[in-house]
Structure 1
């Protein structure tokens, strides 16, 4: 009996080990549901599918910005122009028209025989136009002073609308305006002129 038992113990241990190994083998026959659906190991400690997807997947082109197109460059240029220069180009020329007319009395022997009524406009640079509006009163005083001198020296007597009379008046008004301000005064335009009986 002792010899038979000595032979049976190793045989039984071998059979039990084979059966236990067969039961514990992963995914062999679906015996372990927890491991049946798991992907096979590729030998690097990570599932083969995850390894392929993570390490060797094609790069996503959406992560890389596309090269700028011509339209993008044009839009950028427009953005720079509008941001640095206020959105619009400053015009080279501007015209400042006095909001009210000039009234110049024509005095004869102490009596006002008539009144000259004029509408004047100053031609200037576009950049100086806002500052010229702020200096309206100073410019108006200088021009009115020159108109009074012109009236008291007979400049509005007779045919005052003749070009020979108006050309010197424009020059005198321009010099008076230039002397009263440091802004650009290219010319003084006479928009309207009329004489009204006093």
Structure 2
């Protein structure tokens, strides 16, 4: 019973503290309105001029290709590592169906670029170095644009993993 009293006192004190804090907190401020009921913080527009609108920003869509790309990294005729990449495309709106319709052709072209990148040593050493990744993205964008036209804005490497073999 002697151990129960301090616990009860602590719980009662905690409850009173929370209750007092809730009762004494300030009320949320009401929005101040002008004499005619307008919001003084709202943008003002004159009736004789159209409101200025910023240039229409192009909203891009992102399309993730369905499967990862698996690329062997060769060393003296032997596989020394496996590279696994996930690729997404930044596209103009409504290009998703066109991309999925062309995905086999796109994957084939991407694989050839990735194999070429591996053959010139692009996946050796610090393979995530900025210049190596920019070069890879530029090559992927070039082949994607050749297949899909102007619908492609950029190629995004969303995941990349290198697993050394042996």
Aligned to 2:112, the other structure's residue is in SS state helix
Matches within 5 A, 1:105-184: 105-182=72-149, 184=151
TM-score, scaled relative to structure 1: 0.52
How far residue 183 of structure 1 moved from its aligned partner, in angstroms, is: 5.4
Query: Could you say which residue in structure 1 is the equivalent of 2:54?
Result: none
How far residue 176 of structure 1 moved from its aligned partner, in angstroms, is: 1.2
Q: What's the Cα RMSD here?
A: 1.4
Corresponding position: 1:104 with 2:60: no
Q: How many residues align?
A: 108
Cα deviation per residue 1:115-164 (whole Å; 9 max; x = unaligned)? Answer: 11100001111121111111111111111110000000011111011112
Maintained 8 Å contact 1:128/1:183: no
Which of the numbers 146, 157, 162 marks the counterpart of 1:195? 162
Could you list the runs of 5+ residues in structure 1 that have no partner in the other structure?
1-90
**Moved >2 Å (runs of 4+):** 180-183
Aligned to 1:186, the other structure's residue is in SS state strand
Cα deviation per residue 1:33-59 (whole Å; 9 max; x = unaligned)? Answer: xxxxxxxxxxxxxxxxxxxxxxxxxxx
TM-score, scaled relative to structure 2: 0.62
Cα deviation per residue 1:62-93 (whole Å; 9 max; x = unaligned)? Answer: xxxxxxxxxxxxxxxxxxxxxxxxxxxxx842
Higher mean C-alpha deviation, range 176-185 or range 144-153: 176-185
